[in-house]
Structure formats: structure tokens, C-alpha cells
Chains A and B, each alone.
Chain A
Amino acid sequence: MTKPFEPLKLEGLDIEPLICARCGFCTFVCPAYLDTLWDSQSPRGKLFQLAKLIKSKKPIPADFAARIFQCTLCGACQEICQTDIPLLRFWQLVRQEIGNLEEWPEIVNYIDTALQETNNIMEMDQEDRMLWTDMVDDLVEGKTGIKAEVAYFAGCNISFKGTLAHMGENTVKVMHAAGVDFTILGEEEYCCGNPYFVAGGFDKGIELAKHNLRKMKELGVKTVVFNCPGCHRSFAEEYPHLLGKEATEGLEFLTFSEFALKLINEGKIKFTKNYPHVVAWHDPCELGRHQNIYNPAREVLNAIPGLQVREMKHNRNKARCCGGGGLLKGVNPMMSVRISGKRIDEATKTGAEFMASECPSCTMSLNDGIEHIESDMKFKDLSQIVVEALGL
């Protein structure tokens, strides 16, 4: 049993609730607060309660623990914070504290069990990891576990969810078209550990991180390409944090947009067809606010002839969350889908034909949002747009 609030104390963040200015700016952007309009859901309210608990050295009560998980970890509160509280890390550490108290929500315990038993969040057999390649069998034939400088890391969602498989297929098509020699890990691809990191179960993610990095190094990989910003952030930020910077030395981690832009700049792919569509771009939180990656996707879209990008009212570092982050989708699906619906409304106001992003979690949430508010808006992943524009 650890001491109360040890995760926060170890990183010197236990003073942050006192530093909170109570200005409430976070309530202007917090999706959970805006969904309920109760201060108990706002970062300001949660910090106020935590300040009292930390001062009195009392454990986080179960109902408060549940509210801590009613948060998308979108990081908008950190972005607008008057006193620069590193809230993203803060909430992760509070979740770690909740884990230490064995008060994780049921969905997190389910994922924990699944990961321990199967190394993927779907609790499916690892042999099914290659389900996503069904439609591109010919392109991935002989690519599993071979030595190559470029690896594609599909992640659990794309690997196992049929509705997201197209993102992997598209990426492979683009790699093939660009003549990139690549490898995939197949059964040896384990979950990146992001669900653990989001839930504050850092220690539990260590073995997954070690395994994935070891496999990459065994195959001589230098560049890893991701469609999933959560996986990307795990490799680029959480792994070095957990295992030390040297653990990822010599490895480059690229999002799909960064990879596609690189191919464009190297002349390996070229858009020649006219693609006359108007697109509203949604910045995934885990790429944008979490990792400050905003431009590559826009540059790729702007390189497509005929395509017009419309910015939503809240874009880049001010982009609103899709509602699917921070495990909210599992913890409170109704709140999640309401938040998604608001984002769809915002996209609709731009007059765009469809909205686009590059994140499997955003894809799921925003499609759910479209259904929830019965909108005519359509959603496309960036990889889909690139493939269509290339005529692949």
C-alpha cells in the first residue's frame, strides 16, 4: 500500500491544486463540464476537492474517483490554464492514485484483465491480429516479421475492429504505392499500453513497452508509422518516460500524416487527380495538444488538388475533443456521444461536405456522434482521403 497521493508527491505535483487560481477558465473548454454544467465535473472543482483531500491526507472517495474518470483527458484545461498547471500529467497521476486504491472503473479493470491475458484490449486471440489485412492480403504477403527499416504499427483498434480496418489497409496501400519496404509485427504486436497510461497504470505498461521496442529493434526498424495517435504518443512520450530516453534511441515515430507528407516531399507519391471536396479538419487531442502536431495533416490535404480545408471555430490547440478520449467512451458512453455530437455540429457549421481526422478513436466517436444527432455529416479518415486522391 502506497502513502496517500504518493504518485503526485513523487513528481512534485501535489501542490498544484493550491496553485489553481479558481478562475474557471477550464470550464470554458472542458467537455465533461460543458456536458453537465456542474462544477463537480470541472477541472476547477476537482482540483478544489483534491486540495482538501491532499491537505487532510484522506483517500479519494469512490464517487469522486468515478468523476475523475469522467474526463476525456483532452488536455484543453491544461492549454487554457491561468497558472500553467500540467493538468494532463496531473490527471494521469490522480488516476494512478485511484488505481492504487483499487477504485478503477469496471471498464479499466476489464481492459487490465484483457491485456494481462491476451496482450490486446479486445480480449481476442493474438493470432487474429492480422484480421485487418484481409482486404490487402496481397500487399502484406511476406511482410510479417521481416527485417525492414519501416514498420507499420496498427494498434488494437485497427487490428481487431472491422470498421477501422480500412485505416490499416489504406496505409499499406500508400506504402506499396510509394515503394516503401515495410514490415508488420503480426502476432508479435502487443498493445502499445496506452489504456494503462491513460488510466495511470504505468507500471503495468512497462512489459508491453519493452516487448514492442524489442521486436522493433530485432527487425532493424528505424521508422515506425502509426494511424493511431494514442499508440504514437505511447511510443514517443510514455516509453522514454518509463524506460529512459535510450530505450527509443535510433527509432523515429511518425503519424500517418507525417509519413504521407514525407513521401510527398520525397516525391514518392504525387497527387495528380482533381479531388473537389470541402473538408473540415478535426485535430485529435493526442496529436495536437498532447504532442503539438498540427501542420502535417493540413499540408497533406493542401497538397491535394481541388481539396479545400475548412477550419472549425475551435481548431488546433483550441480544438474541442471528439468525446472518445481518456476511456470516457467506456466509462460513460452517453456523455461521450453527446460530446461527439457537439463536435459534429461545429463541423456542420463550416459547410464542409465531410469532416476528417487521423485517429481510430476519433473515427469511432465522431461516427457515433453523427448517428446520435442524426446528422448528414460524413466522416473520413485522412488515409482514406489520401488513397482516394491517389486513385489507389
Chain B
Amino acid sequence: MIQKKHYQKLADIVGEEFFSSEEYMTQLYSHDISALPGIVNDIINPQAEAVAQPTTTEIVSNLLKYCKEHNIKVVPRGHGTSGYGGALPTKGGLVVDMTRLNGIFDIDKGSMTIEVGAGIIWGRLLEYLEDEGLSVATYPSSAPSCTVGGWCAAGGCGIGSTKYGGIREQVVEMEVVLPDGEIINTIEKMSDVFKDGSPEPFFKGDDAFYYKSEVSEETNDESTSLFIDSNGALGIITKVTLKVIPLRKIKPMTLSFPNKEQTIGAMQAILNYTKPFYMHFKTDQFFGMLKELGQAPNTTNEWLVLCALEGTNAENNNDAKEIAEIISMYHGTVESDEIAHHEWDERFYPMRVKRLGPSVAPSEVYVPLNRMVNFIEHCNKHFKGEKMAMEGAVNHQNEVAVLTWFLDDERRRIPFMFGWYRSLDVINIGLKHGGRAYSIGMWNVMHSRTFYGKENLTKMGNLKRRTDPKNYLNSHKVFPGPLHLSTRMGFLMMFGAALAVPIAIMFAWWLVPSLIGGYAHWVVVNDLASFLLWALVGVGMGFIAQEFANIIPISVMLSMGTPFLRLGRKIFH
């Protein structure tokens, strides 16, 4: 909880006009792109208490120093366009919205890099670069709203990743404010930044807040890669230097296939021939939903592949000719240019199908391309009876970032809650087929170890422990954090236990009278007074259970709860 006395101080640090603690405002910064079941409000506290929009790195630094000193929970936020819970508050606190740090500081056409504020929107950056005859090699499919810093923090691949890799491959260096308020450039060695006697950080901030930290010699690797995908748990990214490429012609092709085997086979064959700029597929079920919406292109077949080529006109035409030949062996059809451009323009619009919901349960996981057919079959079998749209984009390592959308209706609260299992199960199925989690955020925190690797996670943990021992900065992200049961849930548990205990005793007397009579004859409910007595015991047990639940990590809760959710969905669907 942020105490009243802190509000004015926080507003002073960030500037009155860039701070709000009004409820209508804070609730807008307390969600991301996903609609979550109502129960989430009862197991964590995703309601931010205040929002700050810093305008400089120094202000971010001062904010963090103040919040660390007063143990105010801080959640950094780009533009809330991810769905992994990375920008969700878990214990109220302060949301630091980075969208005002949106400057373009330096463009270096010699080294082909650009330095931007972390809060700049990708779409804006692309527009700026286009005027300079440049582009970024990869941008997210949420480019019109996603911030550069947000994508760096969440990680992942996007448009252009088939050829150039994901965001990790694009970042040259970053400026990060560590939880203790210190500002570092990630390209410098960790040891250089932190070791005694090393060059001073270029901004120390307010001396009163300055906090000296030490990091062991182990963490002497270049640290940029550690901050990518770190979901703001290690620090707040304030500036990013990205690679840029010359603006080249894109020639989109839409290819259609009769079934999944031909689709995936053709994609592999194309990748054996060349690395297109972007390769993406949609399943026939996805196509069917688009058809229902009147948005499906008029293609020969219903399995679609978008293959975007990048190069000169001659190169693109030559590649297009080769690809046409390759796919003929897979019964594929090259659709018209009009359809190709339509599909290319639709690359930003994967959520069209939400209109059929009106809600969706999304999930995303990396699966090796050569295992995709099995993965799709597995999903179809596992989610039989569910309305599922699936699409996937290939990255530079021939992995497919598979995105699934399950249609749902959040107004039907119980089935919607149980339906949460689908998002978790898609990832589990992906893992069984040799895949890996797409991003960690909060919901995938049980996969942190495999996602980051033991060595990197240890380094990240070391840094976290040294700079943020109380875990005030974006807790529950990357590193598991405990539940934060609401008062309502606490009372519900105590009330439930108060009823359950005396009823269980009565049931035990009916079921095994000799056993309970022989060993615990004093455990008895035979009148109102004894009922109330044992109900009181139940309240106490409920209280203990509630306290115990508050130390269970969310990751454990999700792992343990998935089978129950699955069962519940079967009953209530």
C-alpha cells in the first residue's frame, strides 16, 4: 500500500501533471491486453494505486530511489500491449508508464544504429526511419501501439524475424535504471559498472538516495542480453540503441494449401531455399473464423502462408518464381497480388477474430517448425470442442511462434475462469513437442529456469538480490512471487472452512463411527453448540489456510490448479 504521505512526494518527483492517483486513471493502468478471470483479483492485487509518467531517465532514477527507500511496489509499463502479465501490478503500488520517454536521440548512419527513448512506439519509429530511407530489421505485430522498451522487456519475435531474428538480435545497448536508482549502460561489463574503483556511473542521482551495490565477479558478462526479456524485474529500460537497416522493397506472397502437412512441408522447403523477411501461417480454423467475419480473402485453399520477400525487384521476382515452383510440389497455390497485399496489411491484425468472442483466451509458445504438424494434431485433439484459431510466425532459428486464440465470453464468469487452463495447456503441449515459452511475464514464471537457462537466471537472481532485496520492482515477474489473497477471498475461505469442518465431522461419524468413536470420541457434532464450536475451529483453520496460501508462489498455484481448471471447464463448458 502506498501511504497517503507518499503521494505528494511521488507527484513532486515526477511532476504534478504527470502523476495521478485517481481511481478512474489507475484502473486503466492495471490491466494488459488480456481479459483475466475475476478470480485473479482475489489471488493477487492488480489494482495500481498511482500512475507516474516520467519524462527523463533522472526522474525514473529518483522515483526508484524513493520507492525503494519506502518499499513502494513499482511496476514498469510500456503501453500494456502484452498478455503475459509482465505489466500487471500484483500488490497495488505505483505503475511507471514510460510512454513519455519517447524521444529520438541519435541516429548514426555510419554504424547504422538509432538511439531512442524506451517509450517510443514502434510505429512512430518506423515512420521516422522511413523518411530517412531506413527501417528496423524486426518490429512487433503490435507495432502501432507497442513501445520499444516494452518489447525489449517482454522479448519475442515479430515481423522480419524470419530473416533477422527477434528483438534480442536488434538491441545494441540499453540504458537501464537499476532498482537502487543507479543508471547504467548495459554494453559496459557488469563488473565495470558495479565493482569498487570502476568508472563512476554517469548519473548518480540524488546523493541522499545513492545506494552502493556490489556484484560478485561472476557477473562479468556483457549485460545487455540479461536485461532483454527480463520484464523490468531487474531495472527499468529508459533508452535503447537499435540496429537499423536500409529501407528495402517488400514483396508479399500469399500461398494457400489444402492441409497442414502440405503447409508445413512447403514452409520448410521454402526455408531450405531462402530466408524470407517474414513467414507466417494461418490454420483453416483461423480462416473459417475470418470467413465468418467476412474478412477472409478469396483463396483457393484455406491454409494460408504469408511469405514476404525483401530485396531488389529483380531479387524478389526471382525468389517468387522459385517459391512458386517449390510449392507446386505441395499442391500449393500462389494467390493474387491483391490478396498478398491484403494479407501483408493484415499482419498487424491477428485479433480480428475477437469479435466472435467477444472475449478470447490467448496463448503463445515457440515450437520447432519440424514438429509443427504433431503439435497442431495434439492441440486439435486436446482442445476438441473448443473454438481455436491458430497462427504462427517463423523466427530465424526455424522455430514457430505459435499464437492461439480460444473464443470465449467473459460474461459467463465460471466457464471463462476454468477456460484459463487452455492458455497454460498450449504452452505445456508446445514444451512436449520440443518448444519453449514465448515470454515469461507473470503467468509463465514457472518456465523461467528453462527459458533463461540456469546460468543466466542465477546471474539475474544475484543482481536482483543485491539491488532489490525486498523485491519492490515488478515483483512476481521472472522470479516467482507469492499470492496476495484479497480480503474477500480470505473471508470466503474462513466461511467455507467454518461450514466444512462440522459437516465433515458429522459425515465421519456416519461413515466410520467406530474409528472416530474409538480414537477421537470428543470430536462430535450433535447439537447447535457443538456445531458452532467446530465452526469456530473451522474459522481458525480457514485463517491458517489463508495465511499459508499467501506464501504459495503463483507459479505453483498455476501448476497445481491447471488440472482442476481443465476438469471444471469440461463440466461447465
Contacts and interface: CB of A to CB of B under 8 A. Distances in A.
Interface of A: 15, 18-19, 21-25, 27-29, 37-40, 45, 48-49, 52, 63-64, 80, 82-84, 313
Interface in B8-61: 20, 24-25, 27-29, 31-33, 35, 53
Given A22-B31, A25-B144, A28-B144, A40 B24 contact: yes
A23 B100 contact: no
Given A22-B80, A23-B81, A83 B355 contact: yes
Contacts of A52: 27
Nearest to A52: B27
A21 B145 contact: no
Interface string B132-143: 000000000010
Contact of A23 (B27, B131, B145): B145
Given A23-B33, A38-B20, A28 B145 contact: yes
B121 interface: yes
B354 interface: yes
Q: Tell which of A37, A49, A82, A313 has the most Cβ of chain B within 10 Å.
A: A82
A45 B24 CA distance: 9
B352 interface: yes
B144 A84 contact: no
B33 A38 contact: no
Given A18-B410, A83-B354, A24 B145 contact: yes
B355 A48 contact: no
A49 B352 contact: no
B25 A38 contact: yes
B350 to A, nearest CB: 8
A335 to B, nearest CB: 14
Given A18-B411, A22-B33, A24-B81, A84 B25 contact: no
Most buried by B among A80, A83, A84: A83
B99 interface: yes
Given A22-B80, A24-B145, A63-B24, A39 B29 contact: yes
Given A37-B99, A38-B25, A24 B79 contact: yes
A15 B333 CA distance: 39
Contact of A45 (B28, B123, B352, B411): B28
Contacts of B411: 18
Contacts of B354: 19, 21, 82-83
B24 A37 contact: no
Nearest to B20: A38
A312 to B, nearest CB: 12
21 contacts: A18-B359, A19-B355, A19-B358, A22-B33, A22-B35, A23-B81, A23-B351, A24-B79, A27-B79, A28-B144, A29-B144, A37-B100, A38-B25, A39-B29, A40-B25, A48-B28, A48-B31, A82-B351, A82-B352, A83-B351, A313-B131
Nearest to A55: B411
Contact of B142 (A23, A29, A39): A23
Chain B interface extent, by class: 35 or more
A19 B24 contact: no
A340 to B, nearest CB: 20
Given A23-B145, A37-B100, A48-B31, A28 B121 contact: yes
A24 B80 contact: yes
Contacts of B121: 28
B357 interface: yes
B322 interface: no
Interface in B125-174: 127, 131, 142, 144-145
Contacts of A82: 348-349, 351-352, 354
Contacts of A83: 351-352, 354-355
B154 to A, nearest CB: 14
Contact of B145 (A19, A25, A40): A25
Nearest to B100: A37
A133 to B, nearest CB: 45
Contacts of A23: 33, 81, 142, 144-145, 351
Contacts of A29: 144
A318 to B, nearest CB: 10
Contacts of A21: 33, 351, 354
B24 A49 contact: yes
B355 to A, nearest CB: 5
Nearest to B25: A40
A37 B293 CA distance: 33
B123 A28 contact: yes
Contacts of A84: 293, 352, 355
B117 to A, nearest CB: 12
Most buried by A among B20, B24, B293, B352: B24
A15 B409 CA distance: 11
A15 B358 contact: yes
Contacts of A63: 24
Residue from A23, A25, A313 whose CB has the most chain B CB atoms within 10 Å: A23
Contacts of A24: 33, 79-81, 142, 144-145
- Please name the 6 residue pairs, one residue from A and one from B, whose CB atoms are nearest each other, closest first: A24-B145, A28-B144, A18-B358, A21-B351, A39-B28, A25-B144
A339 B49 CA distance: 31
A25 B348 contact: yes
Contacts of B131: 313
Given A18-B410, A22-B80, A24-B142, 10 more contacts: A23-B144, A23-B145, A48-B31, A80-B144, A82-B349, A82-B351, A83-B351, A83-B355, A84-B293, A84-B355
A38 B357 CA distance: 28
A45 B79 CA distance: 12
A234 to B, nearest CB: 29
Contacts of B358: 15, 18-19
A29 B127 CA distance: 13
Nearest to B147: A24
Nearest to B360: A21
A256 B79 CA distance: 42
B46 to A, nearest CB: 14
Contacts of B81: 23-24
A82 B24 CA distance: 24
A229 B35 CA distance: 39
A48 B28 CA distance: 7
A38 B100 CA distance: 10
Nearest to A314: B127
A122 B79 CA distance: 42
A261 to B, nearest CB: 27
B410 A27 contact: no
Contacts of A19: 354-355, 357-358
Contacts of B351: 21, 23, 82-83
A35 to B, nearest CB: 13
Contacts of B145: 23-25, 27-28
B142 to A, nearest CB: 6
B118 to A, nearest CB: 14
A313 B33 contact: no
A79 to B, nearest CB: 11
Contacts of B410: 18
A173 B496 CA distance: 83
Contacts of B35: 22
B79 A64 contact: no
A146 B53 CA distance: 62
A302 to B, nearest CB: 24
A52 B47 CA distance: 15
Contacts of A80: 144
Contacts of A15: 358
Contacts of A40: 24-25, 28
Contacts of A22: 31-33, 35, 80
A171 B233 CA distance: 63
A49 B28 contact: yes
A22 B29 CA distance: 12
A83 B290 CA distance: 11
Most B CB contacts (10 A, CB to CB) among A29, A39, A63 go to A39
A303 to B, nearest CB: 29
A331 B99 CA distance: 26
A226 B253 CA distance: 44
